[in-house]
Each structure stands twice: as structure tokens, then as C-alpha cells.
Structure 1
Amino acid sequence: MKKIFYFAALIGSLIFSSCQKFLEESPVSEPTTGSFLRTEAEMDVALTGVYNSVNWNSGSIPYQINFDNWTDIGVLRLASTAEGAYDASHGSLSTIWTFAYTTIQRANTMISGMEAGKSAVAQTVYNRLQAEARVLRAFSYYHLVFMFGDVPLFSQPLLYEDYYSQTKSSKADIIAFLYKELDESAGYLDWSVSDRGRLNKAVALGLKARIALYNGDFAVAAEAAKSVMDHAGLSLNPQFGALFTRSGQNANSGKEIMFELMYSDAAQSSINYIPLGQGSRNLGGQSGRFPSQRLVDNFEATDGKRIDESSVYDPAKPSENRDKRLKYTVVMQGDTITQNNAKAIFDMYHTSTLFLNGGRWVSQTNNDFSNAYGPVKNGVGYLWAKYTFNDENITIARVSWIFMRYAEILLTYAEAKTELNQIDNSVTDAVNKLRKRAGLPDVEQSISSDQNKMRQLIRRERTSELALEGFRWFDIRRWKIAEYVMPGKVYGASKTAGNIAATPDFKTSTIKDLNNIADYSSSDAVRFSRDNRNFEPRHYIFPIPQSELDRAKTLTQNELWR
């Protein structure tokens, strides 16, 4: 099959053209899937529908872009769940729930319906198509179980009346189901695929490793991750920044990108507004999402030390002598930014800044400084660079959203083995691959020989490597640090160029030191800040959406939200 998946226009036209005749001729009382999925082509169309549903499209952006901005490392233009002022009626909760169960229902419908055509399709093809649907279903359940806890578990299509009699399965039972599903599915999938955008064995095992890590099943996580490392033939892209540009993604050096949400040139509506939504106001962007100081200060200095312990870090020149990933993740004072084939200097302190015009740098009005929704007046002085400054027109960008890449597999393996206190050369080698690309020295022996110090370093690495990729919301909950990082203000850069905030304190407590949590209380008056967030123990998981409780009286609310 020579298809690219995830195209909304494609699935609409495919389903309509494939089903039109059936819809005209079959009685309404007959189940669609019982008659439809009798050939490989029809099964493939159904699978395209399942893939398409993984596009959690919200305003032409993948919904997962919000997740890290709901944490301490990011902030949204408007109030969100991050502020803690939400309940079961909050729209974000029902949005996630609906997106996830749409995929689950489509996968269940396909898996059940394709049984009618099993004898007409080669067994290996049948098993592969079914396995892809099962992995996509597991992908949705992973979101549900770690965001909501106990949720309804369905492996068959729901009948109309089933919607009103749902009950919850335990988180433990669902995770056991997912392990089994992913193991069996991996057995039917190859390590590589001919069509970009499709799942393979590495993604199935990578998802199992992620679920196991989040659930504290470290031996399971390490084994699954190691299998990918040993057999999938993957490596890191030498250029970190290339991962988040369309040209870099097309090349996919090292095959680092394992699972992506793709956009098509063939469909005018298939566009991604991530660059538009977080880009510079000076270059046509709308700057609606911003990184925080805590993220900036998580990146090490080039001597491999956290900034409070580094001899080369200078708070007056915070972008110098830093982890290379910082400049590809966060836009800082004085950075040259490129957007829509134009260049400007990012400046958070002055009413004008420099723009490249006809080969000359000229001074013009600085909208990043003056606009009410810009990074100074609405954010905390920074812009997101990741996914933003690529080689496209930001109003019709088609840069892929990455669901999984090899860097995560390396970090999962390293963390799982560290939590098992099985730190050996394979662990330090996995981390050093990432550090080498970032321009950082190898892990010191004094760190690798100490489980707590290695844990601290891996958590720092994970935050720097995966920022804005949808992991931080889950990480701060499984590490049990959300209560330390979420309450209070979101801090940013120094308010003025002439009054530079000092290096923050990371050692106000043992747990804050371990988790690289900077404290900004001593520099409150001189830093940009936003919000005044609240966090309660019940915020470790979301409540079941009220709309679902109203629909199915058999569902019960999570205990802390009752």
C-alpha cells in the first residue's frame, strides 16, 4: 500500500467512496462493518480512519501541544487547567476523553468488522492491519489511564445502549490489557515499514516501555526499550533542531522519528498552526504559548553542570555556554529569529528592534515588546523555538507533530535501569548519546556511581530533551513533584536589561534539588511573571468529565473529585 496516513481529506473521500454504494443498497438494520470489511482494500480504508482519529485536531493544532504548557515549564495565553481552577465540567477534559474514545471506538469497529473478510486476506496482512489498529487503541488508552485513572475498557464496538451503562475498569487491569495487546501486536509487525506514517514493531514496544515507565514497572520498561535499541536499527539525528522542521523530518536522519502526525500537501486543509500560534509577533506569529524560566534554567552549561553549580554560566549572558538544545527550544534575548522568510532580532526590552530588510539590518517597531498578547506583556519574556522557526510559511505549515522518537527510548531505558539500581555502561552510553548531540560532556563517574545523582541527571535530561513534546504533564505526576512545581507564579526573564536576576536557588530542599526545581522567591521583584497557580492533591489526576457522568449514570466520579 502506498498511502500516507492522517490526512483528514483523504479519509473523508476514501470512506465516502468506499461506503457510498453499500449505504445505498444495504438495509439500515444491518451492521456496517459486517458487510464492509470483506477485502484488504476495505480494511485498509478502515485503518486509515483509525489513524486519522489520532489527529486530536483543535484549531489546526494537535491537542497534545497543550500538555507541557499546563505544567511549570510553559504557559498559555489564556487560563487553562494549569491554574488549578477547574472541575469536571472543564472543556479540556471532555475534549481529551472524546478524542481518545473516538480512536478506541474506530479501532474496535475495525477489529470486529474485519473478521468477516478474514478468509479473503492473506494471514500476515490481516494480522498486521489488526495489530496497527490495536496499537492505536492502546495509544488512546495510555492517555486515558494516566490522565483519568480508572476508565471504561472496551475491546468491542459499543452498541447504542452501551453508552448509558458504562462502568470503569481498574487502572491495573487496563495496563495489564495494554501490555498483552502491545506484545501480541508487536509479534505481527516488522521493525520497519515501507510507508512513512505507519506503525511498526518499534512503536508498539516503545509504547509498552512508556506505559511501563509511567506505571513504575521498571523491569518491563527497560526490557521493552532495550529490545528497540538492539533490533530496530534506529539512531539519533545528528542535528537536534532538524527534528522540528519539515525538511529535517522528511530526511529523518538516523530514523529517529518513530511515530508522527503528518500533514499533506495534497489537501489544502491539512495544515498545522503550531508555528503560527507560538511565533514572533514581529514576523506574523500570534505568540499564544510561552516557555518559562524553570525550563530555561533546566538546561546545563557546557561544562555539564547545572547552572547553580557551573563555573562557566553567567546570569548576565544566560544563552551563552549552554546546552545546544536550549537555542532550538527557547527564543532568548538577542537571538536571531527566522520566520516566513524574514529575519529579526528578538528583543524583550526595547520598543524597536532590528529587521533584515533588503540585505540591511534596519530598526522597526518591536511588536514582541509592545503587543498586549506578546511574549513580554502576556508571556514571561520568551518564545518557543521548537516547532516554530522552520522552513515553511507559518500560515500553511505542515511540519509533523512527533508522537515518539528514539531519544525517548534511550531516556526510558536509562531511567528504568537507574530506578532498578542497575546502572552500567549501557545506561551511561544511552545518556551520553543525547549529551554528545547537545554538546555536553559524558556522564561523570561520580554521578553514574550514585543512584540519586544519576536520577537527578536523567530527570534533567528528560526535561531538556523532550520539552514541548507532551511528556512533562505525566512526568511531574509520576515523580510526585507536581505539588512542588505547580503552585505559585510562573517566572520568566529579568524585567529590565539593567537589573539582571541572580542565579536561582535549586537547593531549598532535598526533593527540589533532586528534581532540578529552581526557586525564584528572592528574585520575584525583578522577573517577569504570570498567573498565581493553585495545586491540590486531587490535581494529580483529572476528574471524569461531567458530561460522561450525566450520560452514563453507572459511571462514578474519581474519589478525590466527588
Structure 2
Amino acid sequence: MKKNLYIAGICLGLLTGCNDYLTEAPLSAPATGQFFNNQTEMNAALTAVYNSVYWNTGSTPYQSMMDGWTDLALLRAVDLGEGNFDVYNAHAKNLWSLPYVTIQRANTLIDGMAVGKNNVTAAAYARIEAEARVLRAYAYFYLVNLFGDVPLIKKPLTPDQFYTQTRTPKAEVIQFIYQELDAAAASLDWTATDRGRVSRSMALGLKARTALFNKEYTLAAEAAKNVIDNAGLGLNPKFQDLFTRAGQIPNAGKEIMFEILHTEADANSITYLPLGSISRAAGGQSGRFPQQRLVDMFEAKDGKRIDESTVYDPKNPRLNRDMRLKYTVAIPGDTITMNQITFVYDVYKSTTSFKNADGTWSTKTNADFDNAYGPAKSGVGLLHAKYTFTAENAFASRVHFLLMRYAEILLMYAEAKTELNQIDDSVFKAVNQVRSRAGQPAAPATLTQAKLRQLIRRERVAELAMEGFRWFDIRRWGIADQVMPVKVVGIAKDPAVAPPVPNFKASETADLNNIPLYDGSENLRLMREQRYWFPKLNLLPVPQSERDINPKLTQNADW
């Protein structure tokens, strides 16, 4: 049977995408109201659900861009991070539309497969249905955390229903997510038989993430502990291998739990995730950049924040740092390999050193120095390292994007137990597994709740930066109004004049959340625009195009 993409009913929130989908699907493909009669048809429909989970713009996963809308990074063009977008914003529209395509495809499969139940084994039927339910819950997780109240749609829509959908309270949608994940988990193995599929560990991990973001800490801790105790997962011994194609293939430690796969079997299955962040000197497009705040939130090698460390040297900020820093951010002076080119990254000189094929080095023109779209002119002197060190042609990369991994489970467990003030050996064991892999000293068991909370929030940045979590973290921690309305800050303008160590203790909140402030040293650093914050930015606006189609959809406050 052809590997058809199935029409997911009326595509709520993606009329354009629905039209594109209709042109891709053969006329013989089952539509809403038709059914899946055997396992071959059910598997093909499930494949269509999985395909729809790759929410991307320009072949770049949306989750990889979301830290660029926070205080950790930026995009070359003015975007959501600046705080001055409106209800017509294309990203907000896509982030509403794409999850609903996933939901509608899942609904069509779940509803339509019942007629073929007697034609497949009970185990196969339960697994296919469970996977679809987890993917549907995954889509709703993003919708409620991005938009708040959203329409809760459990079955394929008919045309007359399309224009009558209303927003369901967030709390009700979250309860639906929990119910779906619990029911689905029972029919799934702890580890998926095929890479890229959901598993029981992923379903419970998503439950933990949902509960943590909703401040239901007991539920979050229980779900995460279930994974820790029963899934048989571990950490990849090498942090850097998680973000390269070659390092991902063996999945050492079984750390990768859910991912966007790209395969050599399909010539079009490529990602521009590395290309969009790679150095101009290496032939990349360098359209996304880290901010200095991200660099400064990494600890020094002694396990202390840089304002408290005795080994941190502001004249050499690359040295004596948490090893995860060099695999997350490229800093001038680093020798790096991007797009299969090895060179010394520099933004201060018009030439730099490049490694030749025979192992010798040559001095060549440095595009990062003065290219109008490069890191010095469009960014603030820094480059992303995560996902860009993959040893591939950046125009044909197949590096997978990770949507969930075991390190997140450990940190969620530790955070939830800390918020409950149920701090025991299991909490320190979870945190220290992550820190040990990075070569950082173990967190001492004498830490107070406040100090452990501070450390865990720092760990979430060091471990998970550029993986799509910061946008949510600064909102659930209630610190977006402090971290966002500032100027974008970068490296020293003059490498011979080192700016002072930033101030992390301007307030109790800044200290707790490891927020570096640069008052008094901005004139010594590369700078970009002033950003803004308004309370309405805690949620994205319901796209106006959706409200034009369906007037029953209300808008979020102040939009």
C-alpha cells in the first residue's frame, strides 16, 4: 500500500497547511468519515501523525528557535523576543496551527481504526491507538502552555462543527492530557521498538513535564520517579554526542527518549537547523545567536557561579568553565568544526586560521569579522555550538532534533521534590548524575531548599539551553518581567579590555535565578536592541486569522 498521508478531517487552525496537505494526498486516501480496515492502513495513518509532529519553519524545528525569543539567545531579524509583535504574527499562527494538524490526524486515526479492530491483533491495536493518543497529548501540552485555554477536540470535525469551536479552560485540557497519557502508557513498552516512536517512558516523561509546568509537583515527581526506577534509561557518557549525527546513532545510555528523525532513505529528509546557526567563515547562514547571559550562567570549573568562583578569569571567559559551555556556545578563540571546516573562531580580526586537509593550517579571510549578517554585525559575537558541530554538510544535515531526553527527567524530578521541600538523597543523586557527566562537582547535601532551587535552575540552563525550554521556564518561575526588558548584551568590544564580572545579586530574585546584569559595563560590550515586556506576553495571542474564521474563539487578555 502506498505510504499515504491521511486527511485529518477539517484542519483546525491551518487552512493553508490543509490545502497543501490535500494537494499531497492521493484522491484515494481515506478522508474523515472513512475507516482503517487493517494494520497496514493503521500504520500508514500513524506515520502521518508522526510526520505532523515536525513543527518547523524553514526546515528548522520551532523548539530550537524558542530560546531565541528569551534572554538566552536572539534571532538576526526582529522576532517574538523583542516583545512588539501582534495578533497577526506568523509564528504565533503556526504554533497554533501545527499542533492542531497533529491533533486532527490523531483523531482521524483513533476514530477510524475502530472498524478494523477485529482485523489486527489486540496488542497491535492497543499500541497504535496508544501512540496516537500520546502524540495528541503532546500537541495539547504545547497548545495550553503557549495559549492557555484552547479548543479541546477529541474527534474529527465535520464542516458544520468547524465554525463553532470554543476554548476549553486550560485546567480541563491538562486533566485530559494526564488521562490520555496514563491510559496510553499501559499499552506501551518502556522503550520503543523503533527510534522516533513514543514509549511508556516518553509518555510518563510528558506527564511529568506537564505537571511540573502546572506546578503540580507531587504528580511531576511521581511520574519522573516512575521513569527513573523502571525505564532502564541512563545518560550518554559524552554530552556533546547528543547533538551530532554520528553521536546520536548509537544512543549511548538510551538517553534519547523522543526525537525528530531524518533518514538517508529520503533525499528530502534534511534539516537546516545547523545551517541557520553556523559561522559565516564556515559557509553557514548565522541567523541565530546566543546572548552573553547564556555564557555567564554556566558555572566555573569549581562548581560555583562566575561571580563567586576563584578560578573564573573575566579576561579569559572560555577557560575553567563547565564543559557543557563549549558544546553549547562558541566563543572567540575556540577552535571549532562546523560544516566540515575546522577553524579558529574570531570576530576581532579580518583573517583567521583554517585547518587544511593535510593537517596544516593556513590564514584566510574571516567572514565572521565584517559580514553584515555575521555574528559580529548581526549578533553579539557568539555562535551556537549545540547541533552545529555535527560532522555533516550543513546544506544536507540529518542530525536529529531531541524532543525529550533522560537528563530532563532527572532535573524535573529534582525540581519537583525541591519545590515540595522533600529533599533527600534521591534528589541529590538525580542532580549529581547530570553534573557528574559534565565534570562538575557534586552538589553538597548541605544545600538549603533555596540554594538547591538556585542550582537546579542553573542546571536547566546549562543542560537544556537551545532545546526549547527557557520560554516556558521564565514564565512558570515568574521572572520573565525581569529577564526580558533589557538590552541584548554580548562579548567585549575590545578583547584587550575585559568587562567586569556581571552583577548577579541586584535583587533576591536575580540571585535565586542566576540573572546576570550588565549595568555600568554595556559600553564595553557588543550590544543589540532594547527588548520589552508586557504581562500579555505570558501567552501568545490567538491568531486573528483563526478568529476571523471562527468568531466564537475569544482572545487572550490585552491582545
CA distance in 2, matches of 1:125, 1:309: 56
- Counterpart amino acid of residue 68 in structure 1: D
CA distance in 2, matches of 1:19, 1:336: 47
Residue 359 of structure 1 and its aligned partner are, at CA, apart by: 2.6
Asked if 2 retains the 8 angstrom alpha-carbon contact of 1:34 and 1:116, the reply is no
Structure 2 unaligned runs (5+)?
6-20
Deviation by residue 1:9-48 (Cα, 9 ceiling, x = unmatched): xxxxxx99x986846xxxxxxx735544010110000000
CA distance in 2, matches of 1:381, 1:75: 12
Deviation by residue 1:337-390 (Cα, 9 ceiling, x = unmatched): 112332110012111111112432221111111101111111011000000011
Asked if 2 retains the 8 angstrom alpha-carbon contact of 1:205 and 1:225, the reply is yes
- Give the TM-score taking structure 2 as reference length: 0.94
Q: Does 1:274 align with 2:278?
A: no
1:396 equivalent in structure 2: 396
Residue 60 of structure 1 and its aligned partner are, at CA, apart by: 1.3
2:476 equivalent in structure 1: 478
2:120 equivalent in structure 1: 121
Which has the larger displacement, 428-437 or 339-348?
339-348
1:559 equivalent in structure 2: 557
Asked if 1 retains the 8 angstrom alpha-carbon contact of 2:278 and 2:339, the reply is no
SS of corresponding position for 2:289: strand
Residue 559 of structure 1 and its aligned partner are, at CA, apart by: 2.3
2:506 equivalent in structure 1: 508
CA distance in 1, matches of 2:349, 2:155: 60
Residue 91 of structure 1 and its aligned partner are, at CA, apart by: 0.9
What is the root-mean-square deviation in Å for CA atoms of aligned residues? 1.6
1:376 equivalent in structure 2: 376
1:8 equivalent in structure 2: none
Residues 285-304 of structure 1: pairs in structure 2 closer than 5 A = 285-304=284-303
Asked if 2 retains the 8 angstrom alpha-carbon contact of 1:334 and 1:345, the reply is yes
Q: Does 1:318 align with 2:317?
A: yes
Asked if 2 retains the 8 angstrom alpha-carbon contact of 1:153 and 1:168, the reply is yes
Asked if 1 retains the 8 angstrom alpha-carbon contact of 2:32 and 2:156, the reply is no
Asked if 1 retains the 8 angstrom alpha-carbon contact of 2:284 and 2:339, the reply is no
Asked if 2 retains the 8 angstrom alpha-carbon contact of 1:347 and 1:353, the reply is yes
- Give the direction of change, closer, same or farther, for the CA distance of 1:513–1:439 in structure 2 (3 Å limit): same
SS of corresponding position for 1:274: coil
Asked if 2 retains the 8 angstrom alpha-carbon contact of 1:33 and 1:112, the reply is no
1:41 equivalent in structure 2: 40
SS of corresponding position for 1:188: coil
Deviation by residue 1:195-231 (Cα, 9 ceiling, x = unmatched): 1111110000000000000000000000000000001
1:63 equivalent in structure 2: 62
- Give the TM-score taking structure 1 as reference length: 0.94
1:53 equivalent in structure 2: 52
- Counterpart amino acid of residue 478 in structure 1: R
Asked if 2 retains the 8 angstrom alpha-carbon contact of 1:33 and 1:110, the reply is no
1:544 equivalent in structure 2: 542
1:254 equivalent in structure 2: 253
Residue 150 of structure 1 and its aligned partner are, at CA, apart by: 0.4
1:85 equivalent in structure 2: 84
Asked if 2 retains the 8 angstrom alpha-carbon contact of 1:33 and 1:114, the reply is no
- Give the direction of change, closer, same or farther, for the CA distance of 1:20–1:98 in structure 2 (3 Å limit): closer
- Counterpart amino acid of residue 178 in structure 2: Y
CA distance in 2, matches of 1:445, 1:200: 33
Structure 1 unaligned runs (5+)?
6-14, 24-30
Asked if 1 retains the 8 angstrom alpha-carbon contact of 2:428 and 2:445, the reply is no
SS of corresponding position for 2:428: helix
1:434 equivalent in structure 2: 434
Residue 87 of structure 1 and its aligned partner are, at CA, apart by: 1.3
Residue 58 of structure 1 and its aligned partner are, at CA, apart by: 1.5
Same amino acid, percent of matched pairs: 55
- Counterpart amino acid of residue 431 in structure 1: V
- Give the direction of change, closer, same or farther, for the CA distance of 1:354–1:21 in structure 2 (3 Å limit): closer
Residue 465 of structure 1 and its aligned partner are, at CA, apart by: 0.3
How many pairs are equivalent? 539
Asked if 2 retains the 8 angstrom alpha-carbon contact of 1:485 and 1:517, the reply is yes
SS of corresponding position for 2:521: helix
- Give the direction of change, closer, same or farther, for the CA distance of 1:37–1:19 in structure 2 (3 Å limit): farther
1:9 equivalent in structure 2: none
SS of corresponding position for 1:251: coil
Deviation by residue 1:86-134 (Cα, 9 ceiling, x = unmatched): 1111111111111010000100011000011112111121111011001
CA distance in 1, matches of 2:558, 2:99: 23
CA distance in 1, matches of 2:415, 2:523: 37
Asked if 2 retains the 8 angstrom alpha-carbon contact of 1:277 and 1:288, the reply is yes
- Counterpart amino acid of residue 77 in structure 2: L
CA distance in 2, matches of 1:473, 1:162: 33
CA distance in 2, matches of 1:126, 1:65: 34
CA distance in 2, matches of 1:481, 1:227: 30
CA distance in 2, matches of 1:495, 1:234: 45
1:176 equivalent in structure 2: 175
Asked if 2 retains the 8 angstrom alpha-carbon contact of 1:35 and 1:116, the reply is no
CA distance in 1, matches of 2:191, 2:64: 27
- Counterpart amino acid of residue 176 in structure 2: F
Residue 248 of structure 1 and its aligned partner are, at CA, apart by: 0.8
Residues 93-104 of structure 1: pairs in structure 2 closer than 5 A = 93-104=92-103
1:459 equivalent in structure 2: 457
- Counterpart amino acid of residue 411 in structure 2: L
Asked if 2 retains the 8 angstrom alpha-carbon contact of 1:280 and 1:286, the reply is yes
Residues 351-370 of structure 1: pairs in structure 2 closer than 5 A = 351-357=350-356, 358-370=358-370
Asked if 2 retains the 8 angstrom alpha-carbon contact of 1:163 and 1:551, the reply is no
2:13 equivalent in structure 1: none
Asked if 1 retains the 8 angstrom alpha-carbon contact of 2:150 and 2:166, the reply is yes
1:521 equivalent in structure 2: 519
